Amino acid sequence: MKLKRNLGITILSATLLLSGIGISADATTTKSGTAVSHSEKTDLPNIKILATGGTIAGSSDSDTDTTGYKAGALGVETLIEAVPQMKKVADVSGEQIANVGSQNMDNSTLLKLAKRINTLLALKDVDGIVVTHGTDTLEETAYFLNLVVKSQKPVVIVGSMRPATAISADGPLNLYNAVEIASSKEAKNKGVLVTLNDRIGAARYITKTNTTATDTFKSTEQGYVGEIAGGKVVFYNEPTRKHTTKSIFNVSKLDKLPQVDILYTYQNDNRYLYDAAVKAGAKGIVVAGSGNGSMSETALNGAKDAVKKGVVITKSSRVGSGVVTHEASDDKDKFVTSDSLNPQKARILLMLALTKTKDPKKIQEYFNEY
C-alpha cells in the first residue's frame, strides 16, 4: 500500500497525484471484514469507523476528476491514515463492512451493517459509530439504521461528493467532523445522524438534493439538527419521530427483508409495471405519485388489483417535499400514505413494517409514528 501524508509541503507532480488529503490514487483496498486499530488506549472516546465504500473511498488517476472516478476503491485503513487529526478527538479503529458504490448497497449488506453496529454498541468500551458511505443511497441506509439500531449512543453516517484523490476533496474534513459528532455527548439519543459540508442532519429528514454539489444534503422542510462551526459540534433541533431505542423494529433474527419495489408516476403511465412487480414477488409497492400522491386511472387500477393479491401499496410523492395526506379514498382502497417520507425512505419503512404485519391500518400507524 502506498500512502502519502500531506505534511504541509505542496508537491506538484503528475506522478504523485497528491491531493489535499495526501492519498495517492494507487492506495490499495482493505478487504471486507478487516479490522484496523490506529491508536493506543487513552481516555478519549472509543469510536469505530465502519466503511462501506462510496466516493469518500473513491479514487481516480487525475486530481481534477470529480466525476467518472471509481467509488469504493480505498480501504478503511487508508481513510483513517489520511486524517491523523482524528486521533486527538477519539480512539479510532476501523472495519471494512463492504466497499461498493452505494447504488450497489443491498438488503443483505444493510442487515450485516445493522447487526454489526448493534453488537459493537452493546460493548461498554465502544462510545460511538461512524459509517462511511456513498452519497447516492446514504439516506436509505441512515433511515434504516435509525429504525433498527438498539442504542442511544451516537451513530453518524458520512460521505463525500469528491473522491479522495481530487483537489479539495471533502471527505477528510467530513470524516473528521463525523468523528467529532460521534464523540460528542450531545449527539446521544438523537437517532442516526448524517454529516457532510459542516451540517448535521437527522436520518428521518435529510435527503440528497443535487447530483454533484458538495452542499447536496438538505432537510428542506424540517431543517438541520445542528452544524459544526469553528470546530465545535452544535445542536439546535431534535428529530421528533420515533427512532433507535423507541423503535419496535428488530433485525437480530432477520436474514432477509421483504421485497418492496418503487413505481414512478408519469403521464401516460400504465398498469403493467404493477402487474410485473406483483408477479416478481413484491410484498409491498411504494408509489412515487405525482403531487399529493396522485395516480392515473390505469396505475390506480393496477395498484387496487395488487392490494387484492395481498400487496401493501404505500403512496409517496415524486415532488421532493411535503406530506402525502391520507384521504377517505385511501382507507377505502386500503392504501397506506407515506407522511413526509420520500419514496426511497418509504420503501425502507415499508420493508420493516412488513416484517411485523400486512395490515394496512397498522402499517399506516407506523408511517404516522416513524
Residue number, nearest CB to ligand ASP:
134
Q: Which of 45, 128, 134, 343 binds ligand ASP (CB under 6 A)?
A: 134
Q: Is 135 annotated as a binding residue?
A: yes
| Angle at 49 (CA atoms; ends 228, 65), nearest 5 degrees | 70
Query: Do residues 263 and 315 lie in contact, with contact meaning Cβ atoms separated by under 8 Å?
Result: no
Query: Do residues 54 and 134 lie in contact, with contact meaning Cβ atoms separated by under 8 Å?
Result: yes
In the window 149-188, what residues touch ligand ASP (CB under 6 A)? 159, 161
Q: Which of 103, 210, 301, 357 binds ligand ASP (CB under 6 A)?
A: 103
Residue 188 gets the label, from left (phi > 0), alpha (psi -120 to 50) or beta, of: beta
Q: DSSP states of 179-202 as a string?
A: HHHHH-GGGTTS-SEEEETTEEEE
Q: DSSP state, 255?
A: S
Which residues have C-beta within 8 Å of that of residue 276, sequence separation ≥ 6?
A: none
Q: Which of 32, 55, 317, 364 binds ligand ASP (CB under 6 A)?
A: 55
Of 2-10, 101-109, 246-254, 324-332, which part binds ligand ASP (CB under 6 A)?
101-109
Minimum distance from residue 208 beta carbon to ligand ASP (Å): 8
Residue 130 CA: distances (Å) to CA of 101, 181, 272, 325: 17, 9, 42, 35
Minimum distance from residue 320 beta carbon to ligand ASP (Å): 19
Residue 252 CA: distances (Å) to CA of 14, 135, 370: 49, 26, 20
Of 99-107, 118-126, 285-293, 339-347, which part binds ligand ASP (CB under 6 A)?
99-107
Choose between 214 and 250: whose C-beta lies nearer to ligand ASP. 214
Q: Which of 20, 54, 171, 293 binds ligand ASP (CB under 6 A)?
A: 54
In the chain the first and final C-alpha atoms are separated, in Å, by 44
- Active-site positions? 55, 135
Q: Write the binding mask 188 to 227 for ligand ASP: x where contact by CB under 6 A, - elsewhere.
A: ----------------------------------------
Choose between 67 and 119: whose C-beta lies nearer to ligand ASP. 67
In the window 56-95, what residues touch ligand ASP (CB under 6 A)? 71
Q: Which of 102, 184, 290, 342 binds ligand ASP (CB under 6 A)?
A: 102
Of 128-136, 217-225, 254-262, 356-364, which part binds ligand ASP (CB under 6 A)?
128-136
180 burial level (CB within 10 Å; 0-12, 13-18, 19+): buried
Question: How far does Cα 99 stand from its chain's mean position?
Answer: 14
Report the distance separating Cα 362 and Cα 369, nearest Å.
11
Choose between 70 and 190: whose C-beta lies nearer to ligand ASP. 70
Cα-Cα-Cα-Cα dihedral of 195, 201, 207, 209, to 10°?
-70
Give the Cβ contact number of residue 152 at 10 Å: 16
Among all chains, which residue has been given the C-alpha cell 471484514? 33
Choose between 81 and 136: whose C-beta lies nearer to ligand ASP. 136
Choose between 142 and 363: whose C-beta lies nearer to ligand ASP. 142
Minimum distance from residue 10 beta carbon to ligand ASP (Å): 26
Minimum distance from residue 201 beta carbon to ligand ASP (Å): 15
Query: Do residues 110 and 141 lie in contact, with contact meaning Cβ atoms separated by under 8 Å?
Result: yes
The three three-digit cell numbers of residue 326, written as one number: 391520507
The three three-digit cell numbers of residue 153, written as one number: 449512543
Minimum distance from residue 234 beta carbon to ligand ASP (Å): 25
- Residue 101 sits in the site that holds ligand ASP (CB under 6 A): yes
Q: Is 136 annotated as a binding residue?
A: yes
Can you say which residues are annotated as belonging to the binding site for substrate? 102, 135-136
Chain contacts with ligand ASP (rule: CB under 6 A) = 54-55, 71, 101-103, 134-136, 159, 161
Residue ranges at the known binding site: 102, 135-136
